[in-house]
Amino acid sequence: MLRIKSGFSGERSLVLPKMVTDMMAADAIVSVLYVTDIGYYPKAENHYRERREPIDQYVFIYCIDGRGSYEVGGNSYEVSANQYFILPAGVPHRYQADAEEPWTIYWIHFKGVLAPHYAADAIAPTSVNPGIHSRISNRINMFEELFETLNSGYSIENIRYAMSLFHHYLASLRYVHQYRSAGEKIDEGNVVEAAIHYMKENIERHMTLQEVADFTGYSASHFSMLFKAKTGHSPLNYINLLKIQRACLLLDTTQMRMNQICHKLGMDDPYYFSRLFSKIMGMSPRAYRTKPKA
């Protein structure tokens, strides 16, 4: 296996011990579908993997920003933001981040009796674009809960709960219409409500005023006027409020380091993140994490 560039600022990964994966393979509940490796790479510059000797795991990659490419079964594919693909087990493959716009990806290696069924017809990139009824932020939270559950220990109860989450996570992508239909409905005529939904769905990316305005179909100036009249905040200030709200959640519920949270919010500069957090919350991220909660 060829590997180039390991270690990306803000990355997180977890490789489950063989003793644990053996336990999962023998468990009646878990063995049908289970994770062996899981991680998140933000702006993974020079990321490259080539496996000439095939592995016995399926490889799921979900690109949320940037671009990349991969080869499998003699075919080449390009992948961009809001697309995922699943590489089949037992087949050599290669994948890499784009040199100019390196991808940000969630990735999972998985096995089990149901693995080929979830992976069916997913070799080519499948788009999961933000929209009025999308639930991308819910899916991101699901991934975090899966990761944190595994990270907290390998008891059989933890493992079984985590793999139940993994079923739901894959199902949210493979049956995306049903997943979206089951979510909270947004009033399509409410421009501000739709814009806030779009902001939440793209919370891990850097967003511009023009991008959000384009989503609503209004000019940037007219949209800003409507948004501030409704919320009392400018669109960009509101985006920052949402990002810090998400930062508080991650500080409260995960063991992520500050630079990892920073990248999860689409920010490259941890010092800027800390200043913004302090401005909005009145204390630093570290002080917030250690402050007793009621």
pLDDT tens track for 219-238: 999 999 999 999 999 999 99
Give the whole-angstrom CA distance, residue 171 versus residue 34.
Answer: 14
Listed by start position, the domains of the chain span: 2-129, 191-290
Architecture of domain 191-290: Orthogonal Bundle (1.10)
Give the whole-angstrom CA distance, residue 273 versus residue 262.
Answer: 6
Confidence at 108, pLDDT banded by 50, 70, 90 = very high
Give the whole-angstrom CA distance, residue 7 versus residue 1.
Answer: 17
pLDDT at residue 250 greater than cutoff 50 = yes
Q: Which of helix, strand or coil describes residue 190?
A: coil
Share the mean pLDDT of the chain. 91
Report yes or no: 213 and 234 within 8 Å, Cβ to Cβ. Answer: no
Residue 185 has a pLDDT of 63
Among 261, 93, 98, residue whose Cα is nearest residue 83? 98
Residue 182 has a pLDDT of 79
The strand ranges marked E within 74-209 are: 75-80, 83-87, 93-97, 104-111, 126-127
Kind plus residue range of the DSSP H or E element containing 228 = helix 220-231
Residue 4 has a pLDDT of 46
For the chain, the farthest-separated pair of C-alpha atoms sits apart, in whole angstroms, at 60
Residue type, 161: Y
Residue 203 has a pLDDT of 92
**What's the topology of domain 2-129?**
Jelly Rolls (2.60.120)
Q: What is the mean pLDDT of residues 189-194?
A: 85
Q: What is the mean pLDDT of residues 134-162?
A: 93
Check residues 185 and 33 and name the one with the higher pLDDT: 33
- Phi, psi for 264 (deg, rounded to 5): -65, -20
Give the whole-angstrom CA distance, residue 175 versus residue 183.
Answer: 13
pLDDT at residue 1 greater than cutoff 90 = no
Residue 291 has a pLDDT of 84
Instruction: Please tell me the least confidently modeled range out of 49-58, 66-75, 179-188, 195-204.
Output: 179-188
DSSP, res 229: H
Q: The tokens of 163 are what?
A: 């793999």
